[in-house]
Structure 1
Amino acid sequence: MKINRNTRLIGDKVILVPYRSHHVLKYHSWMKIPEIQELTASEPLTLEEEYEMQKKWQNDPDKLTFIVLRKDLYESCQSNDKIEKEIASMIGDVNCFVSIDFDNEDLYLGELEIMIVDKENRKSGFGTESIILMINYCHKNLLNPKVNEFIVKITQENEPSIKMFKKIGFIFSKNITAFQQIELKLNVDSIQENSIFANKMYSIDDSY
């Protein structure tokens, strides 16, 4: 999305940066991993197709994407080159797809996705903080259209992700039996009442 093409979000544990061409090679290597393909329901692309996809996402009016960096790895990297530091500290990505609610065309949904690639980086709070930063950013900055509700679709067997989203404040919405998924939702009206979002301090750098 163009709105975040120069925006960096800095949290306690992660730094979210817009998906750029220098991230593609490592991202492409992730998407060759069978477990990641299964978790993301994705088919592998050629490297050329991956570069084309990055360009599309950067200009897509409905898809907001950030690459997730581990803040401690970024800050401890010995290189003085920003690109090298980012590639060394990449651990995943977080996305928000904006669409009309087909049950109520006056409402817009933000469908969230989070991918933390290596198991050693899971269950350490990186995914949770990335989702919180993304929701806060979308809630405050996506104004046309404005997201009315956030949703997430998770395979029924993915208990860690279900537990993470429920801890943030998402509630059960429905079963999607055809894909063996459940849908959880978070209404934006509850965000300001939720201390998880109100107490999450982060900074925004729009000069990235």
Structure 2
Amino acid sequence: MKMIKFLLTTGLVVAIFACSSESEDVSVKNQIPIQENPGGATAKLNATDLSNATTAWNNMIASTAYQNYQSAMLSFTAKMNKNTPIWTGKTDAMTWINTNLSLTLFPSVAAFEIAYDDCQTRWSSIISNNSTLFSTYFPNADASDRHTIMAASITRLPAQSSTCLDGCLNAWTVEVEGWENLWCDWCGGGNQTACWLGEVYYNAHVSMATYTFNDCADNC
């Protein structure tokens, strides 16, 4: 049974897969997310702070500054060509790109560094302009709180109507869930680089999982 393919409203699938080549580092693509930089507290925010934090996140992602950052981030993600190595910062990133440039769609190491620095600078500015969110709410938020705060940025597929499609959805969830947790945890840790890189990893895997879901659904 054929079905209408699921499309991300952000255009992320198009952004990443339009730039993809046949070659990719499969071992990197399938790398299991490791909680290298877990963040946040073990105690929950009170209801008022959780509501305020969620509103602050939603206002942030609706801002022009965030939209411009996201455009740069999605371009960076696309040029990574489905590779999602875990970096702790720029030093790791530069070491990786110097060895693996051919796996990406960046024309040069210098172009990679410019794109990396642009994303980092834009994200740092966003954090500075949302200091209460990142300095007060996130450090005191537990894992559940972080998912609630960031819910508007988390992709969810709709419930499916058959056992076959449920299997496709389960596979999608397995692919995405660990990276969602990684992103939410890293944003809670107060590390500016970790938070935006977590978004890169998460968006890349949402796109790959959605592509796989659509392929699976075509066979139901």
Tell me which structure has the larger Cα radius of gyration.
2
Richer in strand (by share): 1
TM-score interval (norm. to shorter): under 0.3
TM normalised by structure 2 equals 0.24
Larger helix share, 1 or 2 = 2
